[in-house]
Chains A and B, each alone.
Chain A
Amino acid sequence: LAKTTQPISMDSYEGQEVNITCSHNNIATNDYITWYQQFPSQGPRFIIQGYKTKVTNEVASLFIPADRKSSTLSLPRVSLSDTAVYYCLVGDDDYKLSFGAGTTVTVRA
């Protein structure tokens, strides 16, 4: 499994855009990039997945450069309820998710 590195924590304010970058230098050809979100006392929740270029859904955007050695999760106009831990996962095994330490995003009023 490709090792991922992401910031331990990030602070933001309501209404701002939050960008979390994940490094995965050893990503393999068949690996996908997936992001999950976890609120306190809840299980992780799928946000978005991608293989290359840009993917957008109703929650976030995922930017993946051509070399795929990193990816950036973009959360537009965050609110207090976006305070959570965000996990970047890389792999081709959709049956066995491998979570790292994640990035704790704190949104302040």
Chain B
Amino acid sequence: EAGVTQFPSHSVIEKGQTVTLRCDPISGHDNLYWYRRVMGKEIKFLLHFVKESKQDESGMPNNRFLAERTGGTYSTLKVQPAELEDSGVYFCASSQEPWTSGKRNYEQYFGPGTRLTVT
């Protein structure tokens, strides 16, 4: 079974440009998440999709970030315009339903991340 994949693995752009990150979750996983780690900081939650619907976008830093998940399959995260402080590693994760056979399930499957460098 293929894991979570992210593209590109690394992106270098100039301040003010636009970048779009893509995430392909594990097939059949309705839940998709975006996280990021900016330089020297901890991994922080950005948002959560259930199928194509945004369930929680409380972690999105500002309106320069736009996440979509059309059709409930892959997701994109667009940064427009990019700023220097957006540099970091962006992780995507997916998961099954939180309740499996009557038991809570906290397992999320993470992709390798996209390293974004804004110069």
Q: In the complex, which residues of chain B have a beta carbon less than 8 angstroms from the beta carbon of A96?
A: 33, 45, 48, 56, 58-59
Most chain B beta-carbon contacts within 10 A, residue among A43, A95, A96, A98? A43
The answer to the question of B20 belonging to the interface, with a C-beta cut-off of 8 Å to chain A, is no
The answer to the question of B91 belonging to the interface, with a C-beta cut-off of 8 Å to chain A, is yes
Docked complex Cα distance between A49 and B103 (Å):
11
Interface contact B110-A95, CB-CB below 8 Å: no
The answer to the question of B12 belonging to the interface, with a C-beta cut-off of 8 Å to chain A, is no
In the complex, what residue of chain B is closest to A39 when comparing beta carbons? B112
B residues 3-21 near A (Cβ < 8 Å) are 4
Interface contact B112-A43, CB-CB below 8 Å: yes
- Digitize A8-50: 1 where CB-to-B-CB distance is under 8 Å, 0 elsewhere: 0000000000000000000000001010000001111110010
The answer to the question of B119 belonging to the interface, with a C-beta cut-off of 8 Å to chain A, is no
Interface contact A41-B112, CB-CB below 8 Å: yes
How many residues of B sit at the interface, in one of the four size bands? 20 to 34
Docked complex Cα distance between A96 and B98 (Å):
11
List of 3 A-B pairs having minimum Cβ-Cβ separation, nearest first: A43-B110, A99-B43, A46-B107
Per a CB cutoff under 8 Å, which of A42, A43, A95 touches B98? A95
The answer to the question of B27 belonging to the interface, with a C-beta cut-off of 8 Å to chain A, is no
CB<8 Å pairs between A and B, sample of 20:
A32-B106, A34-B106, A42-B112, A43-B111, A44-B91, A46-B106, A46-B109, A49-B106, A94-B95, A94-B104, A95-B56, A95-B98, A96-B33, A96-B58, A97-B33, A97-B35, A97-B43, A99-B35, A99-B43, A100-B42
**Chain B interface residues toward A at CB < 8 A:** 4, 31, 33, 35, 42-45, 48, 55-56, 58-59, 91, 93, 95, 98, 104-113
Interface contact B45-A98, CB-CB below 8 Å: yes
The minimal Cβ–Cβ distance linking B61 to chain A, given in whole angstroms, is: 15
The minimal Cβ–Cβ distance linking B46 to chain A, given in whole angstroms, is: 10
Docked complex Cα distance between A97 and B98 (Å):
13
